A = this chain, B = another copy of it.
């Protein structure tokens, strides 16, 4: 199958996200990249789950790590006759999917697909290293199909960027950052990129900026208090972010900071385009609860405590941008108004019938 990660940055190549080979899953440590380029090597399902829990990788990374972890699980018992394969693999699926509390449902869908393969393989008599290979192929197809979808999203967003334009990003949109830039390259549009650093983990300066730099685009980092000023000072043409959830009624839940950049962009009449697809599990904003993370993290930078004892922290991981601050939701099927996202599902159905 053609690989959809061709031409993307180091950080976005499959082997550098999470990759099974010869009894190991190797995961790029995104907590410290590019200060140091280090991989965590996992030799068991437990080690993969621990790496996911420890946030060695983030964004879409944990999903590929979990899928590759299923291949590793099959390898662990490839030569053992004393183990019930299905039970072992279901246990592995449970361990991997529950590594982090907030992504259990999405994880279950992915490792559940791997368990389906196990069941089918067992019916067909496929075991041992052949099962490992089938699960590796499943993981590969999972990430590759995802990249194909984001190739379309990237192309649809790239069309909205003026020639020689400047875009501002928030946090690390993972795959889509690469596919937008690859699309710009193919359109022969040498855009400039401005990244907000995204505290407390600096995903903007460490990850997004590295992707842009790796792919040959001029990229400028600013701290998170600067987007409002910079939007105007640097004549930004377009603000874009990915999304953790887009509700069907057009609210965007994304890395905290997105809202205040979108608000400033709106103030200056600069469009904000979000990438992603509406989530049918979230019809409206009412049931959305914003996850709070360990408040100690905002009191630190690179593990150094900055505050006096007695000072507290508050770490809302995401914020909510209302539909009226968003110019469009850029999906694989095209661009939709945030007020008109039901049409995405209709188009999606039409599309799948046509296929």
Residues of A within 8 A of B (CB): 34-35, 170, 194, 196-200, 202, 205-206, 209-210, 212-214, 218-230, 233-234, 255-257, 259-261, 263-264, 267, 290, 298-299, 301-302, 304-308, 310-316, 319-320
Contact = CB atoms under 8 A, between A and B. Distances in A.
B229 A259 contact: yes
Given A257-B228, A263-B263, A220 B314 contact: yes
Contacts of A301: 202, 301-302
Nearest to A297: B223
A225 B256 contact: yes
Interface of chain A, helix or strand or loop or mixed? mixed
A304 B303 CA distance: 12
Contact of A308 (B34, B257, B260, B267): B34
Contacts of A202: 301, 306
A74 to B, nearest CB: 36
A316 B224 contact: no
Contact of A306 (B197, B225, B261): B197
Contacts of A210: 307-308, 311
A223 B298 contact: yes
A172 to B, nearest CB: 13
A181 to B, nearest CB: 14
Most buried by B among A35, A263, A307: A307
B307 A225 contact: no
Contacts of A227: 260
A220 B312 contact: yes
Contact of A314 (B225, B228, B234): B234
